[in-house]
Structure 1
């Protein structure tokens, strides 16, 4: 009752504010006091209101059975939850159990705690240390720290690594990748890749002007070509119209998909792979080895180019060249590139699939975008600049709204490093807390008219009284472990949308598609868009 009253009070205030003011609001940090608490209880004291804190064991959730615990619920055939669609599972748990749900007794892994309260999510984020622990990818941890310790050593990278090793590596690479000036240097290269992709789209249209049934794979090729340009300092040749299935680019894409899309299976089902080399694990290792091989090859090629390059100013160097020039060990650049490619290909590709589908099925919104692009780019052939991209306000708002309603990343999370009070329960250290933004981003408590697709809610001059809780939708995470490549991801998406919709119209004249999870949350089906000249 106390939390509901507090939220209602905050909401009444918030909804009278503009969005900019609302984003400054945050819930007061709870003050803990146990001086007068009965044995076995803790007290929360705020504004002289006192409540007893309930033990972790009382958090609602599916009940475990002997031996199998809750692992049986995510098993094939007999299981209750289809972990191949974690978005659906997230909605089901919230609907059945409420704002906090414990999925405990999962064989071989810590408990999962699903948290559907944006205020509490904010509290966890704001109270974390300088080395936050993300729920790890045990399979990637085992690969980097055990299987290929000979290669990685103490250089684990930024994915699947925690504590001081993560902090040291991220500190080494984050300056060049997060600098706005560095990102701006890649506008022209990304635009060149995108022009080639659009030419390829025009060539692959069928007699009805539609894209082929495997168009999502073509988007993966575009994403890989963009990431290769950034992370490996080269064009990989993904835009070649005659790429065979066993080509290097296609093998990279297939390896990335396999590595990411089987994570849920390896992490939530019984982890046989930890004890003996299952078929799934053997193929996972082979794919990761291929990544290491490819990244090493291109980074060493970049090193050779750098040796013969006359540099007058550091600003002339590419992202990878800056890392190679400042660090003695080339493996730092190699591992950095590996992490960017591994996580970036599927993430950006599926985000683009979702955005294009939403634009193709929302013609009124597409026309608004086209009108904005005509104003910013009177000549469709003029090159893009940082200034012009900044003026594409509706474009950015549309992307944010797609990420809110159809969050490509199902959620974020943290492994608690200290005992924490969440929604009146004492949650012990070591529990993995999941923040399902695909759910919280669609909750009326945190988003005004959450059911309505309304990009203008993200535009300060047009948002009116629309309220967006700043921690309800976080597609790139928050804090020290926010997505390191987010600026480049935004750039690639913005350039693609600007170049396509300035000159072309997309339609989707087929049965509406449902959304489903592979590793990302995206439309499930053939993206046979019709491409029409403006």
Structure 2
């Protein structure tokens, strides 16, 4: 309601106004009367909702887009996702005004409900390791704020990534050789399980940052036991978290087999991480004793200087948060370029200018001049949204879509879904990287609502690994498209399915044809 119009209407209705303040107060009172309580927000039946995610249910294999488009058609831009078995209800909203309202009122220490199974493990099962340092995933309030402030300079400044350009290029060169080894000599298609190879590549790249070492899982040491343990537990934790903390689960009431598996998996990954970091520290001390010059610019070394516990926790969280999501994104980029060969040609033309030879090493300078590469990755994030959005716990009462949402309510902000909405993105079902570039005639960029494109979140609690993911993805896509023309000659009508982020629903036996020059 327009407040000024309301004040004038009140003045006409009640006669002479004693003061503007009294008229305004009455108008505000009328507005307040129109605000609805939380319990009037539409909601699905709790048990029907739970059944929809089970085998044979409506949303068992649905993509994020399919699930949310169905829910929006039924309930509108705001509804309640029922909680059960110890999990609270979540208010879900797809309104840009609501999303902005929540973010603008989140304060300096935003509260995002942690992954409860991981929080419980760190606080109740292994407090001997974690103590007060529970990591960004599990901590809240001032504890979170102090940790984030301490590690922000390490993760968020570009200079911290400079040392990784060359080793990441080498890791990708090794992956290129792996593709040549495993592709069919006649069809040039890689095996059906190529997703496993992509996951190994992403793991290898992130482990370089997390543990200051190359694990060799791509070619050199594919059976490395410590690396394989971390590789498998990282992926298992990702899936178990979805079952325990997003899907209906009774683990908070009774110890379920899924929770017990989660506990074993978390312990296994923690043991290996501690072992590797101990080996790193011992090797470092030996080098120092021998008088060697030590490069202390790595992220791991800088984390160790803060606190060895912080180094362990962040190393594990880098893998947990990054491997599956980044592997899915890389699959999506290759799929988009395969299905839109004209865009692949345009990207390769840009790469040929920057990378004169196939084995060109990338560095900070060469990576600056690749706008089309970044546009391709950005458009892929829009075309295949990597999840529903993000969550926040309201720090104060807020009004969302005309409903009063009290302090302490968890709100799921479905911003990613809006990236496939024609209201915000013209021709949303078309893959158009050019939408992210400046118009060659006007020099202007497309105007995008800042609350519709948030693949890495927003505000103080946005994803701390964004720069690492950007570097990894840009390096990998650049190397692959410079070396190969990529095709996908299979049905790709439903390539991904829903977790709390997406994961592949089909195999990706891409065809990799060598680029001649």
TM-score range, shorter chain: 0.7 to 0.9
Q: 2:207 maps to what in 1?
A: 228
Task: Give the secondary structure class of the aligned counterpart of 1:36.
Answer: helix
Q: Deviation of residue 486 (structure 1)?
A: 0.9
* Unpaired stretches in structure 2, ≥5 consecutive residues: 4-22
Are residues 1:343 and 2:358 paired? no
Q: Deviation of residue 113 (structure 1)?
A: 1.3
Q: Contact (CA 8 Å) 1:302, 1:321: kept in 2 or not?
A: no
Alignment of 1:135-534 (within 5 A): 135-207=113-185, 208-240=187-219, 243-244=222-223, 247-309=225-287, 316-324=296-304, 326-327=305-306, 329-462=307-440, 466-514=446-494, 515-534=496-515
Q: Deviation of residue 466 (structure 1)?
A: 3.8
TM-score, normalisation: structure 2? 0.88
**CA–CA separation in structure 2 for the residues paired with 1:149 and 1:84:** 38
Q: Deviation of residue 415 (structure 1)?
A: 1.2
Task: Give the secondary structure class of the aligned counterpart of 1:369.
Answer: helix
**CA–CA separation in structure 2 for the residues paired with 1:83 and 1:400:** 25
Alignment of 1:32-71 (within 5 A): 35-36=25-26, 43=32, 52-64=34-46
Q: Return closer, same or farther for 1:204/1:423 CA change in 2, 3 Å cut-off.
A: same
- Give the structure with the higher percent helix: 2
**CA–CA separation in structure 1 for the residues paired with 2:101 and 2:293:** 43
Alignment of 1:12-23 (within 5 A): none
Task: Give the secondary structure class of the aligned counterpart of 2:497.
Answer: strand
**CA–CA separation in structure 2 for the residues paired with 1:331 and 1:414:** 27
**CA–CA separation in structure 1 for the residues paired with 2:298 and 2:275:** 17
Q: 1:23 maps to what in 2?
A: none
* Unpaired stretches in structure 1, ≥5 consecutive residues: 4-32, 44-50
**Bigger shift: 98-107 or 185-194?**
98-107
Q: Deviation of residue 90 (structure 1)?
A: 2.1
TM-score, normalisation: structure 1? 0.85
**CA–CA separation in structure 2 for the residues paired with 1:472 and 1:260:** 26
Task: Give the secondary structure class of the aligned counterpart of 1:484.
Answer: coil
Q: Return closer, same or farther for 1:484/1:313 CA change in 2, 3 Å cut-off.
A: farther
Larger radius of gyration: 2
**CA–CA separation in structure 1 for the residues paired with 2:220 and 2:435:** 40
Q: Return closer, same or farther for 1:352/1:274 CA change in 2, 3 Å cut-off.
A: same
Task: Give the secondary structure class of the aligned counterpart of 2:120.
Answer: helix
Q: Contact (CA 8 Å) 1:101, 1:114: kept in 2 or not?
A: yes
The RMSD of aligned alpha carbons is 2.7
Q: Deviation of residue 436 (structure 1)?
A: 2.0
Q: Deviation of residue 418 (structure 1)?
A: 1.1
Residue-by-residue CA offset, 1:12-58 (whole Å, 9 max, x unaligned): xxxxxxxxxxxxxxxxxxxxx9943688x753xxxxxxx83222222
